[in-house]
Amino acid sequence: MKKNIVLIGFMGSGKTQVGRELAKELDCPFLDTDSLIEERCRQKITAIFADKGESFFRDIESQIIDEVTAKDGQVISCGGGAILRNENVNYLKTGGILIYLKAPFEVLYDRIKASSDRPLLHTAEPEQSARALWEARQSVYERVADLTVDTAQKTITKTVKEIKQLVEV
Ligand code: S3P
């Protein structure tokens, strides 16, 4: 039985891009929880947050994680907050290996600051909001991860190669 490879980490850590390329390399299905939530709700993440609120979003996120983890042999990229609920972590860890894509705050913020599709940053002080979230979550990512990959100075391809080596041993 092949395990799921689950990519976790803060916004901007490259989970979706790395996941897509990794799945291609490993010739297995790729699932992105944010995309699945958008398909299920027929709305963009920002619209879901605006119309129904974060807790509605988190409930759908948990439901999707429960569903996707029923299968194995997939690469799953999770939204940055997916690990905040223990039940999600438990589902993801069952038959899955959790890989934390790690990078310093400055690198992450640089990657996300120009995009408007992250509702948690729609605040008066987006950088401060992002930093507060990052500081609060770092220890959670570290704690739940089975493996950590530093992505700060790496291309997507290099990160994919590194993960492939780690999971194929
Ligand atoms: C979130 C991260 C986003 C998305 C939502 C909430 C978070 O995903 O799930 O905006 O709580 O960190 P990405 O990490 O893919 O940006």
- The answer on pLDDT for 169 being more than 70 is no
The overall pTM is greater than 0.85? yes
Which has the closest alpha carbon to 80: 46, 34, 117? Answer: 34
pLDDT tens readout for residues 43-82 = 999 999 999 999 999 999 999 999 999 999 999 999 999 9
**Alpha-carbon 20 to chain mean position:** 12
Residue 169 Cα to ligand 1 midpoint, Å, equals: 30
Instruction: Give 109-152 pLDDT, tens digit per residue.
Output: 999 999 889 999 999 999 999 999 999 999 999 999 999 999 99
User: Among 66, 75, 68, 65, which Cα is nearest to 17's?
Assistant: 75
Q: Which atom of ligand 1 is nearest to the CA of 54?
A: 6
- Nearest residue by C-alpha to atom 16 in ligand 1: 11
- Residue 119 Cβ contacting ligand 1 at under 6 Å: yes
40 near 68, Cβ under 8 Å? no
Q: Is the CB of 34 inside a 6 Å radius of any atom of ligand 1?
A: yes
Quote the ligand 1 centre to 33 CA distance (angstroms): 10
- Looking at domain 4-167, its CATH class is alpha beta
Closest ligand 1 atom to residue 137 Cα is 12
Of how many residues is the chain composed?
169
Rounded-to-integer distance, Cα 130 and Cα 117, Å: 13
34, 52, 112, 115, best to mutate for ligand 1 pocket (most atoms within 8 Å of CB) = 34
